Amino acid sequence: MTVATPTKTQYEAVIGLETHCQLSTESKIFSASSTAFGADPNQNIDPICAGLPGVLPVLNQKVLEYAVKVGLALNCEIAPYSKFDRKQYFYPDLPKNYQISQYDLPIAQNGWLEVELLDEEGNITRKRIGITRAHMEEDAGKLVHAGSDRLSGSTYSLVDLNRAGIALLEIVSEPDLRSGQEAAEYARELRRIVRYLGASDGNMQEGSLRCDVNVSVRPVGQAEFGTKVEIKNMNSFNAIQRAIEFEIERQVAAIETGETILQETRLWEENSQRTISMRTKEGSSDYRYFPEPDLTPIEVSPEQLKQWESELPELPAAKRKRYEEELGLSAYDTQVLTDDRDVAEYLEATIAAGADAKQAANWVMGDVTAYLKESKLDIGAIALKPAILAELIDLIENKTISGKIAKEILPELLEKGGSPKKLVESKGMTQISDTGAIESAIDEILAANPDKVEQFRSGKTKLQGFFMGQVMKKTQGRADPKLTNQILAKKLQG
Amino acid sequence: MSIDREQVKKVAFLARLELTETEEEEFTGQLSSILDYFEQLSELDTENVAPTTRAIDVSNITRADIVESYRDRDAILNSAPDREGDFFKVPKIGQEED
């Protein structure tokens, strides 16, 4: 992103993201306690995650599987030999005074993902964002500051270790991002990928996806980076975008007025829509990493890697490409339809059951999505199964019913399912495509409205809509609209 | 001497240990002699030896993702210096750091 300034210096922002993603395992990364969200404080604790002496952590197999699968989905190299390390720091939410993480031999490195940026006119820009690394680590607990809702006013703190030891995958991007929009889109794509894999629910409100952002600005053309500032505490994609945009403006303004940018951590304040200084980093932190002696190294065999690779689903970027190229859908429709894997698979099942792709896409994005929002159901839970939707679309295509009738019977199909064909038959709603029947209906209408016929013939052609409406009313909407229009036009000409 | 007093002070600070001047003096000597002892290892030629982090050649020890609730969470809570209800209670946190 470039920012124009009065002194004509053009700036660009350099942005990288560190994303912590909670993996969807049942138990913790090194112990058997539950990872269920929302339990009472300290319900899901055990001697290992509470950091008692003499315990032995053992890696959860599922954590390794998810980490490798996410790594593969991010086009990373998977380390043939990987290990865990201790990262030492002191904070009350970290019971051992060190976090088990991965330092110099992370499970995945050197990957990329592709973001698709859509402007208001529907034009697409695609950009590859480098992934530096992804590594496994344990989450810390949660602090509640008693005596005040602010840290500064509290007299003591309360610690809940339910979250301590939940498996995280930290995914670090290259500083390839240049705007708040790009960063937000990167985070969205990352969430799509982990959700497609079932590796994480990616819920930002519950903290299963947390993004820390590094932002610096520099004059365009300057090779070295400016001083980077870390921003935290964004709990939506929009907040990521807005926090970065605010921070870019703040830094450019500071440089313009001759201030020095401090290397620090700032918090995004949702209420005031700004970032505030949290603390100044004293040099780079000295975490004194050393290899975790309680955990064995990890060697992913080529056979295992192949097996996991074969289990990867078609990923969002590949789906988007296929929908555009094979199904002929627009970039916008494609983005909407592939955002959620279940929705995409529903659409694909509908098409596989014989429905026209564009028709199916329209129904899924329109009425079906509206119903999902209203009923708060997942697409897999609704009674309107893909085969039923395909049958409904087919009834319209072969002119058994009109689109209007289809919309009329849709609520019942959404609620109860069943065969659309039988439903329209039992209700006598099949489309009238018999020319004779339509002609006689039109004749009756024309005979009943001689004055309007006269007006039409003397130039008031807008009245065709009135006649059309009358025919539809007479046939309870069952007359084939196209055929009716043709015959009506002919008869009105006289 | 392979470690000086300033380094001992830094390590103590990072480990959140408060040392008296006498202790600083004492540990500087002790740590130095320990480091010197390990220094003997550098006499060996390890140029063609891959770094290792462990003495036992074993890898990939993992467990299945199965939940098993710990039976005595109360004992864990009670083992802390202070608790309040279901929480561990800790002193007021000063300057944030991690």
Q: Please report, for chain A, the start and end positions of each structural domain, with discontinuous segments joined by +.
A: 2-305, 314-427, 435-492
The count of domains in chain B is: 1
Looking at the partner chain, which of B64, B73, B90 has a beta carbon nearest the beta carbon of A42? Answer: B73
Examine the pLDDT at A2 and tell me if it is beyond 70.
no
With CB atoms and an 8 Å threshold, state whether A34 touches B69: yes
Looking at the partner chain, which of B86, B96, B97 has a beta carbon nearest the beta carbon of A40? Answer: B86
pLDDT tier at A25, thresholds 50, 70, 90: very high
Q: B88 in contact with A at a CB cutoff of 8 Å? A: yes
The distance from CA A452 to its chain's CA centroid, rounded to whole angstroms, is 55
Looking at the partner chain, which of A44, A151, A158 has a beta carbon nearest the beta carbon of B84? Answer: A158
- pLDDT tens profile A297-309: 999 999 999 999 9
What is the chain B residue with the closest CA to A23?
B65
Instruction: Give, in order, the Cα–Cα distances in Å from B5 to each of A43, B11, B18, B37.
Output: 45, 10, 14, 18
- Look at residue A408 in the predicted model and tell me its pLDDT: 87
pTM confidence score: 0.85
With CB atoms and an 8 Å threshold, state whether A91 touches B70: no
- What is the domain range of residue B32? 5-42
Question: A-chain residues within 8 Å CB-CB of B87?
Answer: 41-42, 144, 158-160
Nearest CA to A15 out of A181, A136, A134 is that of A181
What is the chain B residue with the closest CA to A158?
B89
**φ, ψ at A141 (rounded to 5°):** -80, -165
Q: How far is B44 from chain A (nearest CA, A)?
A: 22
- Look at residue A118 in the predicted model and tell me its pLDDT: 85
- Look at residue B98 in the predicted model and tell me its pLDDT: 39
- Look at residue B96 in the predicted model and tell me its pLDDT: 46
1.10.10.10, 1.10.10.410, 3.30.230.10, 3.50.50.60: CATH of A435-492: 1.10.10.410
**Average pLDDT in the A448-469 region?**
88
Tokens 């197999």 found at: A61
Cβ atoms within 10 Å, residue A102: 24
- Look at residue A283 in the predicted model and tell me its pLDDT: 45
With CB atoms and an 8 Å threshold, state whether A146 touches B84: yes
Q: B63 in contact with A at a CB cutoff of 8 Å? A: yes
Question: B-chain residues within 8 Å CB-CB of A291?
Answer: 53-54
Looking at the partner chain, which of A40, A60, A155 has a beta carbon nearest the beta carbon of B65? Answer: A60
Cβ atoms within 10 Å, residue A399: 15
- pLDDT tens profile A27-83: 999 999 999 999 999 999 999 999 999 999 999 999 999 999 999 999 999 999 999
- Look at residue A152 in the predicted model and tell me its pLDDT: 60
Q: A276 in contact with B at a CB cutoff of 8 Å? A: no
Domain membership of residue B10 (yes or no) is yes
Tokens 């990928």 found at: A193
Q: Which of the pair, A238 or A463, is modelled with greater confidence?
A: A238
Domain membership of residue B19 (yes or no) is yes
With CB atoms and an 8 Å threshold, state whether A89 touches B98: yes
Classify the C-alpha dihedral A335-A337-A341-A345 as positive or negative: negative
- pLDDT tens profile A388-412: 999 999 999 888 888 888 988 899 9
**Average pLDDT in the A215-225 region?**
93
Looking at the partner chain, which of B59, B63, B67 has a beta carbon nearest the beta carbon of A297? Answer: B59
Query: d(Cα B34, Cα A337) in Å, to the nearest integer?
Result: 64
Domain membership of residue B57 (yes or no) is no
Domain membership of residue B65 (yes or no) is no
The secondary structure of residue A139, as a DSSP letter, is -
Residue A160 burial (10 A CB sphere; 0-12, 13-18, 19+) = buried
What is the chain A residue with the closest CA to B72?
A46
With CB atoms and an 8 Å threshold, state whether B65 touches A44: no
Predicted-complex ipTM score: 0.86
Domain membership of residue B66 (yes or no) is no
- Look at residue A4 in the predicted model and tell me its pLDDT: 55
- Look at residue A280 in the predicted model and tell me its pLDDT: 55
Least confident window among A222-236, A331-345, A416-430 = A416-430
pLDDT tier at A323, thresholds 50, 70, 90: very high
Which CATH number fits the domain that encloses residue B26?
1.10.20
H helix intervals, A102-222: 180-197
Domain membership of residue B53 (yes or no) is no
Q: A398 in contact with B at a CB cutoff of 8 Å? A: no
Looking at the partner chain, which of B64, B91, B96 has a beta carbon nearest the beta carbon of A279? Answer: B96
What is the chain B residue with the closest CA to A146?
B92
Examine the pLDDT at A154 and tell me if it is beyond 80.
no
**Paired tokens of A449:** 């409205």
CA geometry: angle B90, A266, A205, nearest 5 deg: 70
What is the chain A residue with the closest CA to B60?
A298
Domain membership of residue B76 (yes or no) is no
Nearest CA to A335 out of A218, A204, A170, A189 is that of A189
Give the range with max mean pLDDT: A18-27, A200-209, B9-18.
Answer: A18-27
Nearest CA to A464 out of A436, A443, A492 is that of A492
Domain membership of residue B36 (yes or no) is yes
